[in-house]
Structure 1
């Protein structure tokens, strides 16, 4: 029999409609188990155990909550279980998946996050199917590491590596992945790996030395939220970012799809001028995403680099932001934090090509 531990954190999958709104509900959380056990999706070869480290809507998630969740996972005797399922809200699922991937890159068992687009009692909900597919993935694939299982609006159940899922978009609630390449799919209870040059093989995931493990202890784990994330748009006025009194440790500046942002020489709309301002205050400025820094870049991208921006290449913004929070929490020295952020590889966060034999 497969022994699985379900960790509830709240979110829509553990919510109920309450009046005019939707909110987390203690009974709503555990009703997921009842619904599953009374459905045709129940597996006869699996036994579910449960704990609830958190109970909140995921939009309210903070770095402190990540630490609580990480401590709960670290406290699990993995020798007793074939895998962990983490129910989570969809709003910040991609960020949590990336953070847990870094912290548990060397997990010996599957850790699978899943969510729901609507509360379970809503007929539009994919929550039961997502939960069932997460259990099926553990039972069928048994691959170690951190994953997300979530069904799209066409009924396709995708499996994502935890560092390679991007935030769900508005209106359709659909998650994405860099290059549009998920790790695989679930169908009729079975996992099918998507063979692609950018996907590590399942055999690679079974190699414990494939990725470097991170050494941390629950009592000393620090995740630093002193990172400001800025998204570019026409007319972004940097003069509103006054860090003279309260300074972040780092700024992560998003880029347009071509790896660019406003690169005029000076003025309130000038990112190079803003980068210089931050550097003068001792604030590191990172830019992301860039596919490959060695590839041909637009002149505006080069101006940002010349101004002192630090490039995080081949990572999604979600993976980059969480890695910076981890880097500046782990290291008090800025040079060490920078080296960790751009030089380490923990769990396939770099969307690079593999040479499959």
Structure 2
């Protein structure tokens, strides 16, 4: 009998309709186990246990909640379980999956985050199927690592590496992944790896050396003073006044071609903004860039010449969470920069 631990954090999968809205419910999470044990997907070789370190809607997730969640997992005796399943809200699941991927890069059992598009009582909900598929993946594959699992709008249960899932799209409620490459699918309750040159083979996850960096529960700190900026036509950088409240770093998103406004002067000039931040001792990172060794647009080069630090091959979700971790771990900015740009913790670079 395989022992699996369900780690409830709230979210839609643990919510109920209350009046005209949807909110977390004290019994909503645990009813998911009852539904599974009495449903058509129930496995006879699995016994489920549960803890609930958090009970929040995921849009309310903070770095302190990540620390609470990580500490609860860290205290477990993982030799007692064949896998962990974290039920989570869909709004911030991609960020939480990346952070858990970094913090538990060396985990010896599968850790799977999953969610639901609607509360379980709604007939449109995919929550029961996502939960059942996560259990099947954990019980059958015993594949060590951090994953996310979610059924898409065509009914495919997609499996993602924790650091390679991107935010849900607003109108379709669908998660994505860099290059559109999931790690695999669940078909008839069995995992099928998606063969691609960018995807590590399952046997490499089983045989790869464990993460060499170690974090301590008592001193784990995630930096909240990271400012994230998304480009758009007419973005006026004069509104970003850091004279009285200075962040440790800025992560500036880019258009799909790795560009942003590169005019030399004026309030819309990103090079001007980068130089102003550098003068205040604020690191400015740009992401995503697929590969900086490839031919870049001249506007991208001007951003780099102005002093922007390139984070290449990472999604924005993976980059932002890594910066929170880097600047939380290191007081020295040079060490934080090296950690953010040079280390590889858990397949966050979108290549094998």
TM range (shorter): over 0.9
Paired with 1:298 and 1:280, the residues of 2 have a C-alpha distance of: 25
Equivalences for residues 20-35 of structure 1 within 5 A: 20-35=20-35
RMSD in angstroms over aligned alpha carbons?
0.6
> How many angstroms does 1:3 deviate by?
0.3
Secondary structure of 1:26's counterpart equals coil
Work out whether 1:5 is the aligned partner of 2:20. Answer: no
Equivalences for residues 39-188 of structure 1 within 5 A: 39-188=39-188
Match of 1:200 in 2: 200
Runs ≥4 in structure 1, deviation > 6 angstroms?
Answer: none
Matched residue count: 352
Match of 1:313 in 2: 312
Question: Per-residue displacement from partner, 1:291-344 (whole Å, max 9, x unpaired)?
Answer: 000100000000000000000000000000000000000000000000000000
Paired with 2:272 and 2:81, the residues of 1 have a C-alpha distance of: 53
Paired with 1:256 and 1:309, the residues of 2 have a C-alpha distance of: 15
Question: Per-residue displacement from partner, 1:108-139 (whole Å, max 9, x unpaired)?
Answer: 00000000000000000000000000000011
> How many angstroms does 1:45 deviate by?
0.3
Work out whether 1:339 is the aligned partner of 2:338. Answer: yes
Match of 2:270 in 1: 271
> How many angstroms does 1:290 deviate by?
0.1
Match of 1:330 in 2: 329
Paired with 1:120 and 1:53, the residues of 2 have a C-alpha distance of: 21
Secondary structure of 1:160's counterpart equals strand
Match of 1:245 in 2: 244
- Long gaps (5+) in structure 2: none
Paired with 1:93 and 1:162, the residues of 2 have a C-alpha distance of: 10
> How many angstroms does 1:208 deviate by?
3.9
> How many angstroms does 1:213 deviate by?
3.2
> How many angstroms does 1:207 deviate by?
1.6
> How many angstroms does 1:214 deviate by?
2.4
Paired with 1:212 and 1:123, the residues of 2 have a C-alpha distance of: 42
CA contact (8 A) 1:102 1:214 kept: no
Q: Normalising by structure 2, what TM-score?
A: 0.99
